[in-house]
A and B are shown apart, each in its own frame.
Chain A
Amino acid sequence: MSAQLAQFLLSGLTVGAIYALVALGFCIIYNASHVINFAQGEFVMIGGMAAASFLGAGLPLPLAALAAVALAALIGMALVKFAVAPARGASVVTLIIITIGAAILLRGLATVVWDKRIHALPAFSGDAPIAVAGATIAPQSLWVIGVTALIVCALWGFFNRTLTGKAILAVSHNRLAAQLVGISVQRVLLVSFALSAALGALAGILIGPITFTSWDVGVMLGLKGFAAAILGGMGSGPGAVVGGLTLGLLESLGAGYLSSAYKDAIAFIVMLAVLVLMPGGLLGGRATERV
């Protein structure tokens, strides 16, 4: 394997892991509430920015990260309680605009609470690059990929082995039936949004040392994470992970071998292609429509 290819693959996996986390967040919220959360990217931003300011306030890294994730989870719960739940039953366009409005609100709050500058997070375990298969990888990338893998396993355990996780899956399959067996949909919504926000925030903290963070870092990440979710199959957890990693690899390889100027466009071209050719995505089934 040429060193250049290895380099592209490694960087693609790193950014793909972040897309996977964002896509998972979309997926969990979509499954629980059938809402496309356009504010998902802002959770990533909040995670990075909050961690930066907690670190600046003197907290050690693990505590700062925990605090930032907790903050994001709280904001996620506020989002569903005050914005999404009151508008339940509204049309698709209305819900989309509500979450976009929430994203704008959060970005505005970020410029007020923090500022418009770029903030750097320190790498978790130093900057010394490690040589792998002729390419170099920053230790932070290993953190990103490793933590993402851990989270994916933890989520699998959560959804398949714990009662709360199964309750969330139940609501996503059939809300009425879940209510009939005694599941509190309201609580499921709160947990789903909090969980998605936490995932986004964690992604922001992980990628912060590599790409830095600022008030508007969430826009593109959110949109690309969404493209990843569609690539993998909207509403499918494994699909989100596969879609995220695939998108990251495609982006990295495309930027390396085809055109680096159009790197950002790759995600959207892929998304358009998937929507037109296989709307179900890689892992989603063919959707049938009840007439």
Chain B
Amino acid sequence: MLALAAAVALAPLALANNYHYEIAILVGLNAIVCVGLNLLIGYAGQISLGHAGFFGIGAYGSAILAARYGWPPVLALAAAVAAAAALAYAVGRPILRLKGHYLAMATLGLGIIISIVVATEDRYTGGPDGMSVPPLALGGVTLAGERAWYWLVGALLVATVWLSLNLIDSPLGRALRALHGSEVAAGVAGIDSPRHKLLAFALSAGIAALAGALAAHYTGFITPGKVTFQHSIELVVMVVFGGMASTFGAVVGAAVLTALPQLLTVFKEYEMVVFGGVMMLTMIFMPRGLVPTLAALAARRERAP
């Protein structure tokens, strides 16, 4: 935890130019979503293949309220996050009764429906061309420039990780882990599984929406490309690659997989092939994810004389 805070504080020493800052900010935003998603997938054991939809609700909600209705950006952001969490709560009730593949497909369907609505209602959303978003401002102070955004995103990331770690050790977190292990056993122990699953779902949706709204205000522009099935998959892969049930794994996964496409441009037209290949190989050979696998390796080396 302290290591992460130190890393965030010291990283600017390594970031040479605006482009690097931009990547760092994107990594941070993705990491925020992934930490939230990890609570759902890794700890509560529920799959969501539609989280880009909540990201999009945060982004477009804040954008529309700020740009089209003139709301102050911070208020628009808060409203969008609340809306995403409320939608997750409302839709989550019937959906979270499902398990395994069925839950995955239900969340997939939800995410795709959101992306289609975003792309079609062009009067509000600008359609496939996207819309521009006013920058984040509070009072008279506008947040501009890579460095300012870096500190904001970094601070929020540290706060989210802190929240996640505390949540996991709290009674709520223990209830989530219990129902991940066995929903029936958890029920026998008196844990209200539907309510806890719903809380985890709504919380991760709200966190995703927060990151989405921030992303929209940071880049000043939002397009439906951020709300697609592909983006949902990227988020899930980040969480699983980094390590399910590992908050730092989620951060590491986000960092690696956000930076990876930048590295993969070297491969030019083989970029997609390599990306797909990397996804498959890591899942086949490191199914528990990067951080837990490395941690297990380290533990084994310690034990060996």
Assess A96 versus B279: contact at CB under 8 Å? Given A272-B110, A275-B98: no
For B57, list chain A residues within 8 Å (CB).
none
- Who on chain B is nearest to A269 by CB? B113
B106 at the interface (CB under 8 A from A): yes
B105 at the interface (CB under 8 A from A): yes
Tell which of A92, A93, A104, A230 has the most Cβ of chain B within 10 Å.
Answer: A93
B277 at the interface (CB under 8 A from A): yes
Say which residue of B102, B113, B117, B184 sits within 8 Å of A291 (CB atoms): B184
Asked if A262 contacts B116 (CB within 8 A), the reply is yes
A268 at the interface (CB under 8 A from B): yes
B151 at the interface (CB under 8 A from A): no
For A112, list chain B residues within 8 Å (CB).
269-270, 273
Q: Please report which residues of chain A, range 255-291, place their CB below 8 angstroms from some CB of chain B when the two chains form the complex.
A: 261-262, 264-265, 268-269, 271-272, 275-276, 279, 291
Mark A54-97 against chain B: 1 for CB-CB distance below 8 A, else 0. 00000000000000000000000000000100110011111011
Mark B63-104 against chain A: 1 for CB-CB distance below 8 A, else 0. 000000000000000000000000000000011001011101
Measured CA separation A279–B99 after assembly (Å): 10
A176 at the interface (CB under 8 A from B): no
Asked if A262 contacts B109 (CB within 8 A), the reply is no
Mark A96-113 against chain B: 1 for CB-CB distance below 8 A, else 0. 111011111111110110
A36 at the interface (CB under 8 A from B): yes
A226 at the interface (CB under 8 A from B): yes
Measured CA separation A178–B256 after assembly (Å): 43
Assess A230 versus B105: contact at CB under 8 Å? Given A98-B284, A101-B283: yes
Assess A105 versus B106: contact at CB under 8 Å? Given A93-B41, A93-B244, A268-B112: no
Assess A86 versus B100: contact at CB under 8 Å? Given A97-B236, A97-B240: no
Q: Please report which residues of chain A, range 229-275, place their CB below 8 angstroms from some CB of chain B when the two chains form the complex.
A: 230, 234, 261-262, 264-265, 268-269, 271-272, 275
A18 at the interface (CB under 8 A from B): no
- Who on chain B is nearest to A107 by CB? B272
For A265, list chain B residues within 8 Å (CB).
112-113, 116-117
Tell which of B47, B116, B117, B269 has the most Cβ of chain A within 10 Å.
Answer: B116
B275 at the interface (CB under 8 A from A): yes
Measured CA separation A94–B285 after assembly (Å): 11
B287 at the interface (CB under 8 A from A): yes
Asked if B272 contacts A90 (CB within 8 A), the reply is no
Min CB–CB distance B278 → chain A (angstroms): 8
For B278, list chain A residues within 8 Å (CB).
101
- Who on chain A is nearest to B184 by CB? A291
Say which residue of A90, A102, A105 sits within 8 Å of B287 (CB atoms): A90
- Who on chain A is nearest to B49 by CB? A96
Asked if B105 contacts A104 (CB within 8 A), the reply is no
Mark A30-65 against chain B: 1 for CB-CB distance below 8 A, else 0. 000000100000000000000000000000000000
Assess A101 versus B279: contact at CB under 8 Å? Given A108-B272, A265-B117: yes
Measured CA separation A234–B280 after assembly (Å): 25
Measured CA separation A279–B96 after assembly (Å): 12
Measured CA separation A208–B248 after assembly (Å): 47
Measured CA separation A78–B272 after assembly (Å): 19
A223 at the interface (CB under 8 A from B): yes
- Who on chain B is nearest to A104 by CB? B276
Measured CA separation A109–B267 after assembly (Å): 13
For B279, list chain A residues within 8 Å (CB).
97-98, 100-101, 104
A217 at the interface (CB under 8 A from B): no
Question: Interface size of B by Cβ–Cβ distance < 8 Å?
Answer: 42
Asked if B113 contacts A87 (CB within 8 A), the reply is no
Measured CA separation A84–B117 after assembly (Å): 34
Mark A176-212 against chain B: 1 for CB-CB distance below 8 A, else 0. 0000000000000000000000000000000000000
- Who on chain B is nearest to A86 by CB? B284
- Who on chain A is nearest to B111 by CB? A268
Assess A108 versus B275: contact at CB under 8 Å? Given A279-B102, A291-B184: yes
For B49, list chain A residues within 8 Å (CB).
96
Say which residue of B113, B120, B287 sits within 8 Å of A91 (CB atoms): B287
Asked if A87 contacts B109 (CB within 8 A), the reply is no
A20 at the interface (CB under 8 A from B): no
Assess A261 versus B120: contact at CB under 8 Å? Given A98-B283, A275-B95, A275-B98: yes
Interface residues of B (CB under 8 A from A): 41, 47, 49, 94-95, 98, 100-102, 104-106, 108-110, 112-113, 116-117, 120, 184, 229, 233, 236-237, 240, 244, 269-280, 283-284, 287
Listed A/B pairs (30) with beta-carbon separation below 8 Å: A83-B280, A86-B284, A91-B287, A93-B104, A93-B236, A97-B233, A97-B236, A97-B283, A98-B284, A100-B279, A101-B237, A101-B277, A102-B276, A104-B272, A104-B279, A105-B276, A107-B272, A108-B272, A109-B273, A112-B269, A227-B109, A262-B120, A265-B116, A271-B106, A272-B106, A272-B110, A272-B113, A275-B95, A276-B106, A291-B184
The 10 A-B residue pairs with the shortest CB-CB distance, nearest first, are: A108-B272, A105-B276, A101-B279, A104-B276, A108-B273, A101-B280, A268-B109, A276-B94, A265-B116, A272-B109
Q: Give me 18 other A-B pairs in contact (C-beta within 8 A), A112-B270, A265-B113, A275-B98 excluded.
A: A92-B104, A93-B104, A96-B47, A98-B283, A101-B283, A104-B275, A104-B279, A105-B276, A108-B271, A223-B112, A223-B229, A226-B105, A234-B102, A262-B120, A268-B110, A268-B116, A275-B106, A279-B102
